[in-house]
Structures are given as C-alpha cells and as structure tokens.
Amino acid sequence: MLPEFELLMPRTLSEALEMLTQAREGVAPIAGGTNLVVDMRGGRHRPSVLVNVAGLEELRGIRRENGHVVIGATTTVAELLEEPLIAEAAPVLWSAARVFANPLVRNRATVGGNLADASPAADTAPPLLVLDAEVQLTSKEGSRWVPLDEFFLGVRQTLRQPDELLTAIRFPVPPSGAVGGFYKLGLRKADAISVASVAVVVEVGEDGTCRKARIAMGAVAPRPIRAYEAEKLLEGRVLTPELVAEAAHLCAEATSPIDDIRASAAYRKHVVEVLARRLLSEERR
C-alpha cells in the first residue's frame, strides 16, 4: 500500500506551475514515478501533494533549435533511443540510454526525473555533463537556464526551488569532429545500478591536438562530477598513451567515492581510472 497523498492532475504547464506555487509544504512533481513510487513505498520520501507532469504537452519532444538539441523534461529514456537526432548528435547520451535500467523502466523513466532526482548514479548525468548541457527551471515567475554542472549540489540535492519545474534540457550540437563514449560498470550486464560510470567527449584537430576535452563520472562522489584537472591536462596537447594515463589518474584523484553494497570506495577509484583510460584511448583512434 502506498501512503496517502493528494494528486493534482494539471492539463497545462501554467496550471502545473500555479499548483506548485499554491501547494502547502511537501509538494513534489511526479513524472514516470520510477523513483518516486518506489521511494514513497519505502518511506524514504513522503510528499503530501503530488503534481502529475507526465502528460504535459509543453514538456514533451526532442528538437533542434538555434544550434542546440532541446529535450523536453518528460522525454523518456526509451524515446532517447528511438530519436535519430540523439543517436546522430549525441551518441554518448544514446549509449547511456542503451544501458539504462531495462526496457520496462525505460518506457516510464524520464530524463527530467533522472536529473531532478539527483542520484550520484543517475546515468543520464555524466553524458549530459560532457555535452555542456543546461537545464531549464520554470516557475510562475519565469524561466532560467542553469548549467547542469551547477544544478547538482549534493546527494539528491539540486538548485531547483519547490515552486520550479525542470522543463527542458539543452546542449549545443557538438561539432562533427567530436567523438565520445560512455561506459557504465554494473554488477550485471543489464538492469544494474552503476558501480561507476564515465563519459568522455573530445574534439581533436587535424594536427592531432586535443581542442576540447570533457570527462564526467557517476557514482564516485556525492553528485555526478566533471574531471576538470584531467580535461585541462588534455586540452592543447596530443593524446599520447602517456598523457591519457596521466589524465585517467587525475580522474581518479577527482573522486570521493563511498563503500556501499555494490562496491568499495577503493575499487571505485581504481575502476574509474581504468574506464577513463580505455575511453580516452578509444578516442585516439
């Protein structure tokens, strides 16, 4: 049995924003419910009012707009896989969707819900971080775009205010020379929560030097993080095996993992270095 709550069913975005403003304390949006229903049943989350955003037309769809890819917040992970624009422009995000949960969960789980939930292991976060994504937060007062890197504060903590909805995610369409990859280490091949994950995007010029590097990691810190030092080391240089090894080491240095049921902190630190090295080596080819 789920605990009792009030469920509001807005038909438009402005109705939903009005409801969020009016609601007493303990209001939460609900999209796919794949986190929220489980958390309410387990008693970890006890909202008294839910606002259903799953059906809102304004939050749907994936489109290209002014040099950006814009993803509506209630886009499901399954829809990321079906949309050719994602496979073409952001294979790093497509790869993460491919290993996200399982086909049943993917049909409900939304990208907005994944980011708003702000689990350190949220699988769309590392790819969106390396794509320099921003999230759109909207309240009755208006909208603001926030870099995803600033949106995450800590374990399940974000910049989002209670009267705001995450309405969209956008990132600049990467230049044609950009290549990248995502690797998620779980305890089994499918339907596993990340033990550690790494996403990489690099742009390498004609002369072989790295113009831009982005590396992000999941499940190795209180929030999904970028590896700034490693990125800085790579930019402006040729990706030799030695340089890649050094950068991978800096990735591990940037982490502050924990011991939990899935893995030890020491293992996570080690494995992140291995994954980063592998991904960066693939991009050299």
Partner 1 sequence: METKVVTLHINGRTHQIALPPNRTLLQTLRDLGYTDVKNGCEKGDCGACAVLLNGKPVNSCLVLAWQADGAEIVTNGGLGDQAHPHVIQEAFADAGAIQCGYCTPGMIVSTKALLDRNPHPTDEEIREAISGNLCRCTGYVKIVEAIKLAAERMAAAKEGR
Q: Which of 16, 20, 27, 50 binds partner 1 (CB under 8 A)?
A: 50
Q: Which of 68, 108, 249, 278 binds partner 1 (CB under 8 A)?
A: 108
Q: Which of 10, 29, 32, 113 binds partner 1 (CB under 8 A)?
A: 32
Is the C-alpha dihedral spanning 48, 54, 57, 61 positive or negative?
A: positive
Residue number closest to ligand FAD, CB atom = 113
Q: Which stretch binds ligand FAD (CB under 6 A): 5-13, 35-43, 230-238, 263-271?
A: 35-43
Distance CA 123, CA 115 (A): 9
Distance CA 246, CA 69 (A): 33
Q: How far is CA 274 from CA 9, 122, 159, 177, 230, in A?
A: 47, 20, 32, 25, 14
Query: Measured from the CB of residue 115, what is the shortest distance to ligand FAD in angstroms?
Result: 8
Distance CA 132, CA 280 (A): 18
Binding of residue 279 to partner 1 (CB under 8 A): no
Q: Residues 105, 96: contact at Cβ < 8 Å?
A: no
Site of tokens 């490693």: 230
Number of Cβ within 10 Å of residue 159's Cβ equals 15
Identity (one letter) of the amino acid at 99? Answer: V
Query: Measured from the CB of residue 194, what is the shortest distance to ligand FAD in angstroms?
Result: 7
Kindly tell me which of 23 and 53 has the beta carbon lying closer to ligand FAD: 53
Q: How far is CA 143 from CA 130, 135, 146, 247, 279, in A?
A: 23, 10, 10, 37, 36
Binding of residue 105 to partner 1 (CB under 8 A): yes
Size of residue set near ligand FAD by CB under 6 A: 30
Q: Which of 6, 88, 141, 259 binds partner 1 (CB under 8 A)?
A: 6
Strands 6-8, 49-52: pairing kind: parallel
Residues of span 195-234 touching partner 1 by CB under 8 A: none
Which one of partner 1, ligand FAD, none interacts with residue 261, CB within 5 to 8 A by kind?
Answer: none
Distance CA 193, CA 234 (A): 30
Kindly tell me which of 81 and 85 has the beta carbon lying closer to partner 1: 81
Binding of residue 153 to partner 1 (CB under 8 A): no
User: Can you give the binding site for ligand FAD, defined by CB under 6 A?
Assistant: 28-36, 38, 53, 73, 100-101, 105, 108-110, 112-114, 116-117, 121-123, 160, 165-166, 193
User: Can you give the binding site for partner 1, defined by CB under 8 A?
Assistant: 1-7, 9, 30, 32-34, 37-38, 41-42, 50, 52, 54-55, 78, 101-105, 107-108, 189-191
